[in-house]
Amino acid sequence: MDLSTTYLGLKLAHPLMAGASPLVDDLGMVKRLEDAGASAIVMHSLFEEQITREQEGTILDMELHAESNAEALSYFPTPDEFRLGPEKYLEQIMRLKAAVSVPVIASLNGTTPAGWLHHGKLMEQAGADALELNTYYLATDPAETAAAVEKRTLDIVRAVKSEVKIPVAVKLSPFFSSLAHFAVELEAAGADGLVLFNRFFQPDIDVEALEATPSLQLSSSADLLLRLRWLAILHGHVKGGLAVTGGVHTGLDALKAVMAGASAVQMVSALLLHGPERLAQTRAELTEWLEEHEYDSLQQALGSMSLQKCPNPQAFTRANYMRILNGWKP
Binding site for another protein (CB under 8 A): 51-52, 54-85, 88, 114, 118, 210-211
Rounded to a whole number of angstroms, the minimum distance from the CB of residue 88 to another protein is: 6
Nearer to another protein, 67 or 294 (CB): 67
Nearer to another protein, 56 or 296 (CB): 56
Half-sphere exposure of 108 (CA within 13 A, CB side): 30
In whole angstroms, give the CA distance from residue 34 to residue 45: 20
Rounded to a whole number of angstroms, the minimum distance from the CB of residue 47 to another protein is: 13
Nearer to another protein, 89 or 316 (CB): 89
Rounded to a whole number of angstroms, the minimum distance from the CB of residue 140 to another protein is: 16
CA 25 to the chain's CA centroid: 16
In whole angstroms, give the CA distance from residue 150 to residue 170: 12
Nearer to another protein, 84 or 280 (CB): 84
Nearer to another protein, 118 or 152 (CB): 118
Rounded to a whole number of angstroms, the minimum distance from the CB of residue 69 to another protein is: 6
- SS3 state at 239: coil
Nearer to another protein, 49 or 296 (CB): 49
DSSP state of 218: P
Q: In the chain, what is the straight-line distance between the N-terminal and C-terminal CA atoms, in Å?
A: 47
In whole angstroms, give the CA distance from residue 189 to residue 183: 10
**DSSP letter string, 114-147:** HHHHHHHHHHHHHT-SEEEEE-------TTS-HH
Rounded to a whole number of angstroms, the minimum distance from the CB of residue 210 to another protein is: 4
In whole angstroms, give the CA distance from residue 74 to residue 85: 23
Rounded to a whole number of angstroms, the minimum distance from the CB of residue 225 to another protein is: 35
Rounded to a whole number of angstroms, the minimum distance from the CB of residue 218 to another protein is: 19
Which residues neighbour 204 within 8 Å (Cβ) at sequence distance 6 or greater?
A: 212, 213, 214, 215
Nearer to another protein, 178 or 215 (CB): 215
